[in-house]
Structure 1
Amino acid sequence: MGQPFYRHRYIQILMVAVVTAIAGEFKINPFDGDVFRIALGSSVFLLFLLLFRHLSYPLTGLITGIFVLLFRTAIDLAATDLSLHEITARHFSATVYYIVFALLMRLIKKRMDRFHPLVLGAVAAVIDLLSNEMELLTRLLVLGTDSFRLNEWNYLMAIAMLRTYFTTGLYSSISVSQLRAVQKEQNRRIEQMLGFGSGLYGEVFYLRKSIGTLEQATLDSYALYRSLKDGGDDGHGSQLLQMTQQIHEVKKDSQRILAGLTKLVDREVTGDMPLSGLLRFTIKSNQKYADMLGKTITFNQTLTTDYTTASYIPLLTLLNNLTANAVEAIPVKGNVYLNIYEKDEYTVFTVTDSGGGVREHDIELLFEPGFTTKFDDEGAAATGIGLSHVRDIVRMFDGDITVSNAPYAGGAMFRIAILTEKLRKEE
């Protein structure tokens, strides 16, 4: 399908011409008794050139100049008794102005983004001044009038500076707003990507672990088959061999799935991230989680080290899991504290809540798969694999995780310590 009509370049050029011509009627005449004008049209034309850089500047200047000439001619024909020739001669110089202005702007078109806004304003002012002088010179040649003085540099330059700096300032404001909108959208996409990557990383982690379990089950099953066969129990041995083959097939299918998921993780989630970014995204996502649960949670953060890490996905998985648990542990209203700091050769992450703490006899069982203290409204227990997942990821880093009660907060504190050299990305 083609582009919408309003995105077609010729339609856009015509729009520039029409709006510029109308804006040109808002004007002042600096020289008494003449039609040379300082009009809003020049500022509007400059703004369009800055915003629509994909347009051909020479063509835009030519069409705008012609349309301005036709527009002003039509107005004067309706309002005065002058002949068509006289009116055209009076306004022909405006066409020259817009053509010269567009041609000079084309010279700096590729370098505009390199200019500081103040420099861009000054360059545009010089272009405006030169275009005005060409307009004055054209009027002198066409009309033969000497009521304009080509050496009125100070006056014309002041006008040029005023309107070009106003226009470039407006353009800069629009650009900043657009950049903020783009950055906001990028941050939203990054949050989605990180949430996706963190969840997918957990699934990949467990799938890899399951493949290891299947591999061991295959070896044990085959060893048992050989033992039964050597003992003369061919009937049970054949059944066991068939089971071994089925386990092996499941393992191969799991490996294929793992390979695909691993590629997906690598493609969707790449690059590095500072620890402050991890903290920011953890708090933002869990604030939404708390709101969804109808809880009023205040998140407090302390960060005394902020290096870049390539392992941000597993770290984000850890922090998200522990922080979500902290949110769930708080009944209705409370606080969650997240701290990241370095101690000796370790980087330490702590997540503390005000949810009432952990019973002493449960601490030893918290990281066991299947253990849970969470039950829904109908009394059904949660899966209890979250903290065992956290423990397994910490072990992957050869780190250490502990849990204790934090009297100052009124809840539990989970502390993870990982060697900094395993996390820090060397510059």
Structure 2
Amino acid sequence: MIIIREKLIAYLFMIIAVPIAGELKFYPFSGADLRVSMATTVFFFILLWSRKIHPVLAGFLTGIAVVLFRMSLDKLFNASFWLQDSFVSNFPVFFYYAVFAGLFHVFKIKELYSRPFLVGLLGVVIETISNSAEISIRHFTNEVQITTSNFLIIGGVAFIRTFFVLGFFNILILRETKLAEEQQRKRTEQILLLTSNLYVERVQLEKSAKNAEELTGACYKLYRELKDQNNQEQAQAMLKIAGELHEIKKDNQRIYAGLSKLMAKENLDDFMEIEEIIRVITHSNKSYGEILDKTIDYQVNISGEHPRYRTFVLLSLINNLVANAVEAIQQTGQIVLTIERENDMAKIRIHDNGCGISKKNKPFIFEPGFTTKFDTNGIASNGIGLAYIKNVIENIGGEIKLIDSTNTEGTTFDILLPVASLTQEELIK
């Protein structure tokens, strides 16, 4: 029903707009019974723009609408109105729109949008033939003279009018394409950031499953020892613990598999240039800073030769550190990202001039569960934390260091990552 309603609205708009536009006219050549109006311009543009209408039906309806509209104007403003004379005078214009729309459909103009110059040339041909059809009808009904100059004028006007419409149409198409590209870019960035965070969670799940497996083995070994000692009550308790740990491991494996499928389903580019990765990070964190009513200047310095790196790995690591820097800055500040190539290592430095890390917290920032972020109810943040980031980095053979952190100079983290680990097909087995 919605599609039918949209089609009806499109046809209704056309049969109203084109007749009215036809009255915006002028006669550019004295002595020639030729007028130039905006009707063709509007009609051609709607045929190009709307994908909800059929050209032939649109031409038929528009032709009738224009004839009836002009006859109505004759009735209103012509004191010596005669229905037959008015019809004979105006009905030839029906053939103009019918022929125009028919040729538009025959030439399959809507399938040629990727070749605008050809569309323009065909538009000139269509308008010229349509005008010729109308003039021929008028020649036999109203005794309008057909001259070579008339056809030259028709061709010239058709050329100017067609390419004017086509130019305006392509401007709108270009704008629409850019908007669509911008929306797609934003969506891709959001998915990239989401997937990068899922990557970190996947790493932690794998670690948790491995720990659960080791604990299951240790509990089962203790169960056997207790059983050999005829300590049945404690042995059964230990066996129950081993079974529950085994279930935890299986649950983690199922979640791990689900996350892996979800990441693969998006079919995103798993390798990107470092410049593009940093651009996604700075762009997303600019938006994050704006949400927090902060004004933050970003400086990016990239040097050395860098291959295409694993997208999710770097995004997950750098983005979380940059997001922490955004949160550490009060109202205004600066974040500097420096990426260098040192032999077989990629060195990444993230520096901010925010509030820094207090002296008493420095020894604990990489400890699991440590956080300085609490909500108004005193509940700790459930973000991935520096402990997770450190674990991911060390898992691929890298290291992270806190270089500077004072209340006046902010915070600086240095990350060293093996280039080989960032360029191989799979990091986690």
Same fold at TM > 0.5: yes
Q: Which sections of structure 2, spanning at least 5 residues, go unmatched?
A: none
**CA–CA distance in structure 2, aligned partners of residues 254 and 114 of structure 1:** 50
* CA positional deviation for 1:24: 0.5
Q: Note the 1:12-31 alignment, pairs <5 A.
A: 12-30=10-28
**Structure 2 match to 1:112:** 112
1:142 and 1:339, CA in 2 relative to 1: closer, same or farther beyond 3 A? farther
**CA–CA distance in structure 2, aligned partners of residues 30 and 6 of structure 1:** 40
Q: Note the 1:25-424 alignment, pairs <5 A.
A: 25-30=23-28, 36-80=34-78, 81-106=80-105, 107-116=107-116, 118-146=117-145, 148-268=146-266, 270-272=268-270, 273-304=272-303, 308-309=308-309, 311-355=310-354, 365-372=364-371, 386-405=385-404, 410-424=409-423
**CA–CA distance in structure 1, aligned partners of residues 315 and 346 of structure 2:** 14
Query: Does structure 1 retain, via aligned residues, the 8 Å contact 2:32–2:150?
Result: no
Q: Deviations over 1:323-376 (max 9, x none)?
A: 122223334432111123433333332211123656789766542324456677
**CA–CA distance in structure 1, aligned partners of residues 400 and 21 of structure 2:** 69
1:402 and 1:172, CA in 2 relative to 1: closer, same or farther beyond 3 A? same
Identity over aligned pairs, percent: 32
Query: Does structure 2 retain, via aligned residues, the 8 Å contact 1:101–1:131?
Result: yes
Q: Which range is displaced more, 187-196 or 34-43?
A: 187-196
* CA positional deviation for 1:31: 5.6
Q: Secondary structure at the match of 2:91?
A: helix
* CA positional deviation for 1:382: 6.0
Query: Does structure 2 retain, via aligned residues, the 8 Å contact 1:14–1:64?
Result: no
* CA positional deviation for 1:404: 1.2
**CA–CA distance in structure 2, aligned partners of residues 385 and 93 of structure 1:** 75
Q: Which sections of structure 1, spanning at least 5 residues, go unmatched?
A: none
Q: Deviations over 1:24-48 (max 9, x none)?
A: 0111234657764211000000110
* CA positional deviation for 1:243: 1.6
Query: Does structure 1 retain, via aligned residues, the 8 Å contact 2:371–2:380?
Result: yes
Q: Amino acid of the residue matched to residue 392 of structure 1?
A: N
TM-score under structure 1 length normalisation: 0.86
Q: Which range is displaced more, 381-390 or 230-239?
A: 381-390
**CA–CA distance in structure 1, aligned partners of residues 96 and 221 of structure 2:** 92
* CA positional deviation for 1:222: 0.6
Q: Amino acid of the residue matched to residue 224 of structure 1?
A: L
Q: Amino acid of the residue matched to residue 111 of structure 2?
A: R
RMSD, aligned α-carbons = 3.1
* CA positional deviation for 1:50: 0.7
Query: Does structure 1 retain, via aligned residues, the 8 Å contact 2:397–2:421?
Result: no
Query: What count of residue pairs does the alignment treat as equivalent?
Result: 420
Q: Amino acid of the residue matched to residue 317 of structure 1?
A: S
TM-score under structure 2 length normalisation: 0.86
